[in-house]
Structure 1
Amino acid sequence: MINAMTPQHTFCDYYRQWVAMYKEGAVRDVTLSKYHLTCAWLQKLIPLLTLAELNRITYQQLLNDYAQSHERQTTMDFHHQLKGAVLDAVDEGLVDRDPTRKAIIKGKTPRAKKQKYLNQFELHRLLNDLNLGTDISWDWLILLIAKTGLRFSEAIALTPADFEFGRQVVSVSKTWDYKSGGGFVPTKNRSSVRKVQLDWQLVIQFSELTKSLPPDEPIFVNGKVYNSTANDVLERHCRHAEIPVISVHGLRHTHASLLLFAGVSIASVAKRLGHASMNTTQKTYLHIIQELENQDVDLVMRSISSLI
């Protein structure tokens, strides 16, 4: 137990027990796996460092060593995963002072990023390349995510009963645990439980596709589901349509980007995407928001100049 810890115990042991005490059963499996990965890095970088030896210098050295093989944002995430445990150790009297205070976050130069979203012209080319037959397929999943902005795990968890065709909405109340063998699991956060409006064309298409399917079984799941399979299908379509290759998650970015460029408010986009707060939306799409602000400045200046 953490209560039995002393300053002579290693920080690795303390952190491992801290994760078991406060994170196991309290966070999603995908989040817990990140904490376990952080444990593995501590074991690699500071296996013998005791709590008594944890100070600003040794903590900064840990971050510096981690940053040698990681980009700055990844190092920042590593720091955030450690900070809660470190502050608890300070509160418990196992560490004298907060060693994370004024920590400097470094990191390797980021690699050139792949394009994350398509513009409207490119999206039209992609959708025109889809083979939308009479049976459910990955192509239908691509269309659905492009038009709704659902997460991959949300989309593959949809059942016929989730569609309310009369109201033109689909209810998102669960996800499919494709990473751990399947099965329904809760959404990413409470804000992710939502109803997403559908366009009339999608309503007609999916009412026909799902009419003879079991109402409570996921329509896109037929055996083991892999995100990589959907990405491979999407990549083939992107190459055939001669547009930039994006991932299935990039379809979600595409959806949000087109809404923002169309003038939809950040609050409405955040709600549609199931973000926990507008801050998440603003951070994720900052580059688009800044571009729109520049357009607004141009519009303001043209309006002002016309007053004379």
Structure 2
Amino acid sequence: MASFRKRGQNWEYRIVFIDRQTGKQKEKSKGGFRTKKEAQLAAAEEEARINYFGFAENGNERVDHFFADWLEIYKKPNVKPITYSVQERNVRLNILPRWGHYRLKDLTRNEYQKWINELRGRYSEGTVRRIHSIFSTAMNDAVHEFQIMRENPIQKIKIPKQVDKSNKVAYFTREQLERFLESVKTPMKNAKYQHSIQYYALFTLLARTGLRIGEALALTWEDLDFDTKSLTVNKTLVYPLNSQPYLSTPKSKNSERTIKLDDSTIKLMRRHRINQIEVCLMYKNYKPAKDNIVFHQHDGRWLRTNVVREYFKEVCKRADLPVLSPHALRHTHAVHLLEAGANIKYVSERLGHASVKVTADTYLHVTKKIEDDALALYERYVQN
């Protein structure tokens, strides 16, 4: 509640409020206003800030209290559920165990940099960058949005680089991919539905299109156009840990795309559609797909991403191949396209990357080879 008084020629406001952190009564006052109206307007603005943000001033807010409100009130309503899930998980598992008991003003750049260096000993460069990005964004909000800190104490932090980039992208060679897909054709010995070719269709589609696993599992038969031999990507399946799956928009604007399919993939998808019906008729507890989805569990619901990953690993072991993840099929498709001489812009658009630069940076070892081959061709040309 604000009160006002005139001191000499100027007006002053005084606001009494309860500190959310300590539960004690506090007050804030400011003078120097020429008129009472100016003091009232300034007081109203300050009261709104106190009531709206609810954070302790001058960096006295504890890190765990700050992140609890920052996530729930300011992030959750404004980002995709999957984005919020990733941020909340990183805060809970990585940030709070180390920094939760600190006050914001006690954070120091040196101590934080040491922690970042320690994280790089356990996590990849990308994971550490993600954790740091969440923390730094929160601190920027503390400075610029909530005005409870003067500056961000963790600016200009150095993330140790990946020392060995040779294994950055995991993919199958052409021979390995052929062996992998040949192995998928034969169902696992303990598989309940031996007649199903679903995993063969799924992994082949991933390998021939470069789809992300979430994009593939979200597909419905309406997304496939057998006449034009194309596939439309306009959604992705999100399967959070210990939560219900849901459909979301694709990863980026460029991820919404239409992909051309080769004849053998079209033929296989036709077979899979017929096979779905056959399996439902053959096994009593195998239900038809809900919402006309292309890949589904025996109860008709979306396939679980963790189940797909485990099946993929088992196939890798059976085929005596490196044990990778389904995402390796996306890399495999990209690498094979580039090695075949496909234009990098085309590959970028087919994968749904945000930019050509992302594609070039991701597949640097391949694009470098293309560059060297092109230069060799040029040298032979000018010498003849």
**What TM-score do the two structures reach when normalised by structure 2?**
0.70
Stretch of structure 1 that moved more, 163-172 or 35-44: 35-44
Stretch of structure 1 that moved more, 279-288 or 51-60: 51-60
Residue aligning to 2:375: 297
For residue 122 of structure 1, report the CA deviation from its aligned partner.
1.9
Distance 1:20 1:160, change over 3 A: same
Distance 2:165 2:343 in 1: 31
Distance 1:172 1:188 in 2: 11
Residue aligning to 2:54: 4
Distance 1:201 1:38, change over 3 A: closer
* Structure 2: tracts of 5 or more residues without a match: 1-50, 187-193, 278-287
1:96-144 deviations in whole A, cap 9, x for unaligned? 2232333122489779959710112222222333328974421111111
- Do residues 206 (structure 1) and 258 (structure 2) align? no
**Does the CA-based 8 Å contact 1:71-1:107 persist in structure 2?**
no
Aligned residues: 306
Distance 1:285 1:206, change over 3 A: same
For residue 9 of structure 1, report the CA deviation from its aligned partner.
0.7
**Does the CA-based 8 Å contact 1:161-1:216 persist in structure 2?**
no
More contact order relative to length (CA 8 Å, sep ≥ 6):
1
Residue aligning to 1:174: 235
- Do residues 275 (structure 1) and 353 (structure 2) align? yes
Distance 2:196 2:77 in 1: 39
For residue 168 of structure 1, report the CA deviation from its aligned partner.
0.5
Stretch of structure 1 that moved more, 65-74 or 295-304: 65-74
The one of 289, 293, 300 aligned to 1:218:
293
Distance 1:47 1:110, change over 3 A: farther
CA RMSD between the two structures: 3.0
Distance 1:36 1:2, change over 3 A: farther
Distance 2:206 2:91 in 1: 35
Residue aligning to 2:132: 79
Stretch of structure 1 that moved more, 225-234 or 155-164: 225-234
Question: Which runs of structure 2 are paired with 1:49-68 in the superposition (5 Å)?
Answer: 49-67=102-120
- Structure having the higher strand fraction is 2
- Do residues 261 (structure 1) and 339 (structure 2) align? yes
Distance 1:80 1:262 in 2: 37
Identical aligned pairs, as a percentage? 28
**AA partner of residue 351 (structure 2):** L
**What TM-score do the two structures reach when normalised by structure 1?**
0.85
1:8-66 deviations in whole A, cap 9, x for unaligned? 11133223322223321433333322211332223211223222223433433443454
Residue aligning to 1:197: 260
Structure ID, larger Rg: 2
* Structure 1: tracts of 5 or more residues without a match: none
